[in-house]
Structure 1
């Protein structure tokens, strides 16, 4: 049993007190005396040459303080992609500049070409309307296949719309082709992974401040990764000395990937603050968020699965077009390649995998990592084609998966896609899923549905993902331009309370609750005495933020290492206080004792002594009790799971209702089951949303047709079932000190193929010859598929 409030305890999130009572401190809550407002002029055409911009009338309007255009940023750098990807022929990717404000051309609807700084937001909006811009509109590049075959370019200077043509693993290519050519059976599926808008609760907000006396900049911004934002602004975009720039991300109302990246609005408010000597604030409205936040997914894929006569997997081969939008965002090149292609072996012993990805520029909003970041795309392709293959060869879908699962005695297992899995038991996950989902009762439930005139289907999937993106030496070889370590500082105050400064950022994950549980457990103290400090680059060590389920596996491990250093030093102080050697000291439940005696001192006494070192042997013990550790992982972590769901389909309307959803996951060691369950619930909601209702649609002119909640459907409570979530089947990660694997993205990875598989099963049970429907499976799409099939 876990200690009270320690590791393994289902402690409620302490941060929820301020969130639920309206006491949070979000960027837009920050009010500064004398601040002014930034408002952006954004293109209403998707592809056009800027012939002229006239700001004279706008500049003369009431309250207008300054107007910026792309001309003001010609000499500054561009926002770079974080990964350099080489094509199959070794040629580096095409990397056109992404400017602060559009200059020369606009490249998607919503592309900012000017910014007005005014006393109020409304005065800024009025002035934006008065800016006169002459844009020569060109045909928009929207369809990826057309983009690759045509000569109408998003970026004329690179004379192509192909960013890269990537192959993985290139040495497998010929053998994979031969395996598919000679296979007993080949299943081929073409599918779309629909584009999504992240739609975090809090829109983006940036506040720039410049101190004219010291030359220091401060940026408050909605960021999952404040140190990366500072690094990009300093080294690439603005040239601000890093020690003169502080980036602060206070409470952030959700991110899901879209707030990892640096955006041009952050640079603009800093430049404006310096020019005016005043604080400059910009807060997006929801329409701007739809147009300009990095979107997610948007793959068009052909996948082939080759099997022998017994149903053994021989090879997977995929060809994918991945939309990167009009500009490269910071992780946009990693997401469809190393975060996607390396997972294309799944949980299976398949000997051959070959993945080809063509990244394509289009006149749409940039596309980057969204919850799961490449792994949902890989899992969806794999688990859909496996389900289709099972139907084609007449084998039960669960039996086919079990037949090809990696077995527990095969670890560590080198996958055909180039990763080394350290632990797992996929049969046990499937066993548990079958049990808790009451599969034995499905036939009776199907009959009940049929009696109501409904078609009932059962869908299953097995997933694996790679989390805790690392290690730095490996990702450096693969093209990452940053290290992927993290850091923590543990400061013990003289009175025994602690401040723990972490490089990770919490925007809904529960760090302020779970991190103290770990440190408190290690030190044998009350977690409520431990404060977690994050999000302020002037206070925290250099870390790489929160995304990819890396918080515990990477930053949590750094925190453990720093705490171990604290214990080591405290042991020396305790030994001095107890007049013995450190080797004689035992530390348990917050007390240091001399082995074999009843002589002891508490952690609090040692902490106080560290700051009152009257009799310290200074040659061996320094005053104070504060330690920092950086942690660079040895490998990715590999959460996995077995999911199933049951749906009812109305054959008259095509309406799909998810009736039951079961998620059984292996997250390794679980620090707080309540928080983990909440993370899975959130991911399931997003995954079901993608499967059934969410879709981003551009017309042929590049106009975003789903630019508001009137047109972009978000899942509501009545679209979602009560979930059954189980994470009792954990196999500890073997290479980090906590044995954790990561949980934040699992639900969004596992649920889309599960729902789609269930719908196809429902239709086929009703005699409908439907083998695939692209997401989202709206009533219209399902109804049309049923009628067209018959």
Structure 2
């Protein structure tokens, strides 16, 4: 029996967190640190006729002020890793130069001796704006109107059609066809800890260290090296505690590159801690889809086909994965059902808002809303129980592995069994009786039913921009303690505990003798990071494989010693 895996244990990372002894970016103090405040656009769309920093430079404690003209040719564009056919990618720089295109767009960075002096001086900087018409409605952006990036001629960033099966024939064969407008509203992730960056450059060693509240320290190091123009092996990224990410910190932001560059120019550490207002304005947003579903069905509730025409609000420019998120919606449109023909038609558009990107499921919850709402529409149209319609369209366990009309393979499943268990636990029949009784009394009682298939534990795949693998190194120290180095970057998922459980059981040591190290690119071998529910499934597997190799090596050494 395993001593630790599967057993109730106290999380090893919790004591420092609940005692207030953990260190987030803002808890790290370095001598002579300068503080940065940003001047951000108050307009959604405007030309910049001039920036007057004269009064701000005279303010007490101000060391320097940088504008877009100072850095536009010295720091590369914010990277976009998505590769889609005919995708239009704006050249988005870390500070605006001639134009701003969303509220919160950074225009200038004020560097001062402390955070208060920087904020006060930022209030003195004057920007001469020429306001332009703003495009804030995604559907209107798709149809025309004011163009945000003139070089593209329209606000359409890309169009994509995906899916399999003859959708026209599938819908034509239906006894009923139902349409419904669907809105997945745009939202702000709002992690408890806003973003934060601390950068320190050592000119003698020509080494730059960046502390960042990120989910992807190694990928961030690679991209920052390219943006700033520093050799990657001279750049170190450290991720201390992270107070929530939810995908919003699965990114490479302008502030991270700019802070590193500022420290290199001034020869002193530079720190920026995002305010909550900045967090709402300039950290990626999630969702933002407006579309129409069309579903066809037979009289018994069997679905013949599903089409989803959607306009995706991408925001004013692309962050790391912005254009790719709506494509994940298309992958999951089959949900838990056997639908013979599915088509998604995506129109990704620029609007005068912050970019959208990965947030809590990243395109997949949108798909669940679409297909589950569609199944409920079928039930309502035919006067059937929503549960009955779901059961009719479930694949049977013996039909797995199942290829969906979105191009995915579902390896296994017993959806009927899972739903039956859920209905039993909820007392579904009793709830329906209570609902009927309530309605007879004039009271409205709703009962919601939903199923969900998730694509997660993202591993090696052509669909993964960074490869999808994960890394681990496991060492037995001379004193018998064990060190696990993981390329995953946990920030609340509990891998410091679960990886220690795994190592302790496999190596026969006490769990307290296992230390899990992560989030430091100078110590940990290259890794991909933590997102998409992948850290234990992929990172934990890497730890297990490393342990197996270590045990094999130890066996050879023991055999040699024993003759």
Q: After TM superposition, is the score higher than 0.5? A: yes
Query: Residue 582 of structure 1 aligns with which residue?
Result: none
Contact 1:27–1:221, Cα closer than 8 Å, also in 2: yes
Q: Which runs of 4+ in 1 moved over 3 A?
A: 443-454
Q: What is residue 487 of structure 1 aligned with on the other side?
A: 471
Conserved in 1, the CA contact under 8 Å of 2:301 and 2:378? no
Aligned match of 1:266 in 241, 252, 256? 256
Per-residue deviation, 1:452 = 9.6
**Aligned residue in 1 for 2:394:** 405
Are residues 1:256 and 2:246 paired? yes
Deviations along 1:506-556, one digit per CA (max 9) or x if unpaired, are 111111111111222222322221111111111111111111111112111
The change in CA–CA distance for 1:444 and 1:349 in structure 2 (over 3 A counts) is closer
1:298-697 superposed matches below 5 A:
298-337=288-327, 339-443=328-432, 445-446=434-435, 454-472=443-461, 474-475=462-463, 481-579=465-563
1:371-408 per-position Cα deviation (integer Å, ceiling 9, x unaligned): 11111000010001101111111221111111111221
For 1:568 and 1:103, the matched residues in 2 are separated by 58
Aligned to 2:160: 166
1:214 — aligned with what? 205
Distance 1:425 1:41 in 2: 55
RMSD of the TM alignment (CA)? 1.6
Can you give the 5+ residue segments of structure 2 that lack an aligned partner in the other structure? Answer: none
Shift of 1:482: 2.5
Q: 2:251, 2:424 → 1: CA distance?
A: 42
- Shift in Å, 1:284: 0.9
Q: Measure, in 2, the Cα distance between the counterparts of 1:68 and 1:229.
A: 23
Distance 2:173 2:436 in 1: 42
Which deviates the most, 146-155 or 289-298?
Answer: 146-155
Match of 2:122 among 121, 128, 139: 128
**Contact 1:488–1:502 (CA<8 Å) still a contact in 2?**
yes
Q: Deviations over 1:281-324 (max 9, x none)?
A: 00011111111110110110211111123322211110111111
Residue 434 (structure 1) shift: 1.1
How far is 1:409 from its partner?
Answer: 1.1
- Paired residue total: 562
Counterpart contact for 1:80–1:97, Cα < 8 Å: no
Mapped to 2, the partners of 1:47 and 1:541 lie a distance apart of 43
Alignment correspondent of 1:179: 170
Of the candidates 38, 44, 69, which is equivalent to residue 42 of structure 2?
44
Q: Distance in 2 between matches of 1:230 and 1:293?
A: 19
Partner of 1:336: helix, strand, or coil?
A: helix
Q: 1:5 to 1:454 in 2, by over 3 A?
A: farther
Deviations along 1:736-773, one digit per CA (max 9) or x if unpaired, are xxxxxxxxxxxxxxxxxxxxxxxxxxxxxxxxxxxxxx
Does the 8 Å contact 2:401/2:410 carry over to 1?
Answer: yes
Aligned match of 2:98: 104
Cα distance in structure 2, aligned partners of 1:80 and 1:107: 17
Cα distance in structure 2, aligned partners of 1:455 and 1:17: 47
The verdict on how the C-alpha distance between 1:407 and 1:578 changes in structure 2, with shifts beyond 3 A counting, is: farther
Q: Within 1, Cα distance between the matches of 2:371 and 2:130?
A: 44
**Superposed CA offset, 1:220-267 (max 9, x none):** 0100011111111112x2121100100111000000000111111111
1:86-97 map, 5 Å: 86=85, 92-97=86-91
Q: Contact 1:14/1:512 (CA < 8 Å) preserved in 2? A: yes
Given that 1:222 and 1:259 are in contact with CA atoms closer than 8 Å, whether structure 2 keeps it comes out as yes
CA deviation vs aligned residue, 1:52-107 (integer Å, no higher than 9, x gap): 11112211211110111111222132112111111xxxxx2000112111111101
Contact 2:53 2:65 in 1 (8 A): yes
